[in-house]
Amino acid sequence: MAPPSPIIQASGLTKRFGKLTAVRELTLEVGAGQVFGFLGPNGAGKTTTIRMLTGLVRPTSGSALVAGYDVTLEPREVKRRVGYLAETPYLYPKLSGREFLSFMAGLYEVPAAVARQRASRLLNLFELADRADELVETYSHGMRQKLALAGAMLHEPPVLFLDEPTSGLDPRSARLVKDLLVALVERGHTVFLSTHVLEIAEQLCHRVGIIDRGQVVATGTLDELRQQAQRNAYSLEDIFLQLTGGSEERELAAFLRER
Amino acid sequence: MLIHLVRQRVRMAWNRVSRGPRRALRVVGVLVAVLFTAGFVILAGLNAGGLVDRVTRNDPLAAGQSLPVLLVGVTVLTLITSLSSAFHHLFLAGDLELLLAAPVPARGLFGLKVLEIWRDSLHVLLFQAAALYALGQALHFPVSYYARALFVGALLTLAASALGASLTLVLARMRFGESILGLSRLLAILLLLPVGVLGVPALGFGRNRVPSLLSPADVNAVTDQLKSIGPPPAWAPTTWAAHLLLGDEAAGLSLALLVVTAATLFVGAQLAFDTIFQASWERVRFSASSGSARRLKWRLPAIVADKGPVLAIVQKDWRTLIRDPRWRTGAIISLVALGLPAMLLFAGDPLARAGHITRFWFGMLPVPYLAFLIGSQQGAATLAYEGRNLALLRAAPVGLTRILWAKVLGGLALVVLVTWAATLSLGFRHNGEPLETGAALLAATWLAVGATLAAVAGAALTADFEGDNPQRRVGCLGTIVTSVLSIVFFVSNTGLFVWWVVRAVLTVPRPLLGFMPFIDWALPAVALGAVGAIMLAWRIGMQRLATWEAS
């Protein structure tokens, strides 16, 4: 079977903040209709990469095409075609859930009647319908996460960038999100997923990219990554720890020994 | 898109008042805040117009000069106020990332930001509206003047806000941009002082009070000053605005020039936004903060973990506050713009001819003023800056009383430092004896503690810990509550102290002799009542904090 045509293409993407290079010469491709897992230790440059690919932050050098549009030259066209769920999404505490979704529909220019329908459907899907007319400030962390995800999906973007989408969700809601991602991909959407939960990446992702200290250290399917890592790496966790130097694991072990 | 964004802002403002728990209390709070703030500024504007009325009786030509002067003043004030608020709206607003991630056209986002910046100059706009109204009344302008005044006022201030946004975008890219913006806030306060001078007496006595407080000689001086300014420069947009308002023969051309200039300014500001905003935002949001934190790291000693939670909170507060440019500029503004003039006034020894005791004790009057000023600011800041992290403190095994005392101690450090420095320098200036200076230091400490306690209690009662901007978490109602508590404490305790000094070492003025037993009893009772009110506010504030939950 021919590999799907790439919907995200990044080439030599670099971002510097003053003297700090957050992302260095990042090159990757994500095929349309796939779930791409983007893994890496804290501070590795995952969020900066997503911010560049969504047109939020301009790369210092390099280029990227998302849904056929250049993120530097046509950021607005890119934004129209992507949904972005930030790691700590901002929600307006003084709007109700339904009002927030209406607002998001306005931002993405979704016609009002369509937006109302989609909002109702998403609120039902995420089990928020009962509380839809209450202010967001009364929502729990998980409910907020679900509302933010609904907001990112409201305009039915072909590409979804999700930064830690299951953070703070209970197992039932986390499962719901996983099922939803599978359903979205079946309908042709592409998901670029940044996560620390390796189990999710293992279950859902067609391909995985691992970033460490701003550089992509490996990309490919799980089998391909296994080949790139040492022979005794069976799970994604083993591969991840080997490719990123396992520094966190070593630090944790050292900390426990000190205790 | 702009309409959509504005509608959402209006909806949030409406929800803030009309929905959620304790709605009635919030409605009352908003009403009080609106009446207090708007009333104050509007009366100040009416007084400014009243002053023109008196100048008109002196010299109608000089009164005509007041219109361009007023327009220049208000436009400059809006520009400088916008410089200080633009930084928050353009770079630090909580929802910025959400808006930037959406395909919001730059024009819509820029329009929203200009309107938000403009809204922050609401007090200037109200002052301007009232002053233009009173000026129209004083100079007997026709009805059409008021419609033109509305248009001109909105256009000039909106253009000033757009210019402020552009300048902020440029400054944010510069190395010392943040310092310049801090300085602009100082300037905004200094320029607002005359508004305060016009407004404060108006609160109690109503319109025309200030002009009637001015002697005919003062009014003559204002008239002479207005005449000495001469005709305004023909190229200034405020001069065109004045022509338009006066409806003279140059009104038509002035309208055209004004509209073209404003349009050019908006287009220029939009272009500046399109070109500079992204880079400025990235610099402020992602680069600058980490750099400044790194620079400060080595200057401060480590947090002492084994000295208990109170000290740890105090140390943490000081670190976070002095690393926050908004707090730094706020503290400097209070000290320089509001504290220094009082110190300079009394350092000039205005009571040099009085006896030593009068000269010493009455020369100390800036000390309680400084205690009130810095105490109410610092006490509120230490609690309000905690924000949602209050939940973190409450999760620790530390009682709320200790948390609040830590906040008082954190705020008190600067208050005591300032009041002691003022006491010692004024004591030295007025040749105080060691015993006198020691007593003054004790009194200063008491007033500092009281003012800081009042501020922490007021903030505990009203602070919105979820607010984006830590400087606005206490809000209008909170500021009013804190100010009332502090002022009652400040006035009653200073009054009691002055009374004791008068009773002990000076002669009681003859008119007060008959009331002495009553004053002896009433002043301590009021002072004690003020302390009781603070304690009550403290207790209710603690109850509120105990039930507060981060959303």
How do residues B104-117 score in pLDDT, each as one tens digit? 888 888 999 888 88
**Minimum distance, in Å, between the CA of residue A25 and any CA atom of chain B:** 19
Chain A residues within an 8 Å CB radius of B11: 95, 99
> Does B284 score more than 90 pLDDT?
no
Q: Provide the residue range defining the domain that includes A226.
A: 6-258
Residues 6+ apart with CB under 8 A from B397: none
Is A1 inside any structural domain? no
- Count of the separate structural domains present in chain A: 1
| Interchain contact B275–A (C-beta under 8 A) | no
pLDDT value of residue B179: 60
How far, CA to CA in Å, does B174 sit from each of A19, B112, B136?
16, 24, 43
Q: What is the ipTM of this complex?
A: 0.73
> Band of the pLDDT at B45, cuts 50, 70, 90?
confident
Interface test with B, best of A81, A92, A134 (most B CBs within 10 A): A92
Where residue A211 falls (left for φ over 0; alpha for ψ -120 to 50; beta otherwise) is beta
- Chain A positions contacting chain B at CB under 8 Å are 17-18, 20, 54-58, 76-77, 79-80, 84, 86, 89-90, 92-96, 99, 103-104, 106-109, 135-139
| Interchain contact B99–A (C-beta under 8 A) | yes
Chain A residues within an 8 Å CB radius of B107: none
Instruction: List the single residue in A with minimal CA-CA distance to B17.
Output: A94
End-to-end alpha carbon distance in chain B: 29
Mean pLDDT of chain A: 83
> Does B293 score more than 50 pLDDT?
no
**Minimum distance, in Å, between the CA of residue B101 and any CA atom of chain A:** 6
How far, CA to CA in Å, does B493 sit from each of B416, B496, B507, B527?
17, 5, 20, 5
The string of DSSP codes covering A45-112 is SHHHHHHHHTTSS--SEEEEEETTEETTT-HHHHHHHEEEE-SS----TTSBHHHHHHHHHHHTT--H
> Does A216 score more than 70 pLDDT?
yes
Higher pLDDT, B299 or B330: B330
Task: Say yes or no for a CB contact (<8 Å) between A135 and B15.
Answer: yes
Task: Say yes or no for a CB contact (<8 Å) between A95 and B4.
Answer: no
Task: Say yes or no for a CB contact (<8 Å) between A99 and B20.
Answer: no
Tokens of B335: 């000290």
Nearest by CB to residue A94, choosing from B16, B100, B104, is: B16
> Does B207 score more than 50 pLDDT?
no
3-state secondary structure B237-287: HHHHHHHHHHCCCCHHHHHHHHHHHHHHHHHHHHHHHHHHHHHHHHHHHHH
> Does B298 score more than 80 pLDDT?
no
Task: Say yes or no for a CB contact (<8 Å) between B15 and A94.
Answer: yes
pLDDT value of residue A245: 67
CATH number, position A205: 3.40.50.300
Is A206 inside any structural domain? yes
Q: What is the pTM of this model?
A: 0.69
Q: Is residue A192 classed as helix, strand or coil in its secondary structure?
A: strand
- Flag the least confident range among A43-47, A87-91, B20-24: B20-24
In single-letter form, the type of residue at position B100 comes to L
Higher pLDDT, B370 or B60: B370
Is A56 inside any structural domain? yes
| Interchain contact B19–A (C-beta under 8 A) | yes
Mean pLDDT of chain B: 76
Task: Say yes or no for a CB contact (<8 Å) between A56 and B1.
Answer: no
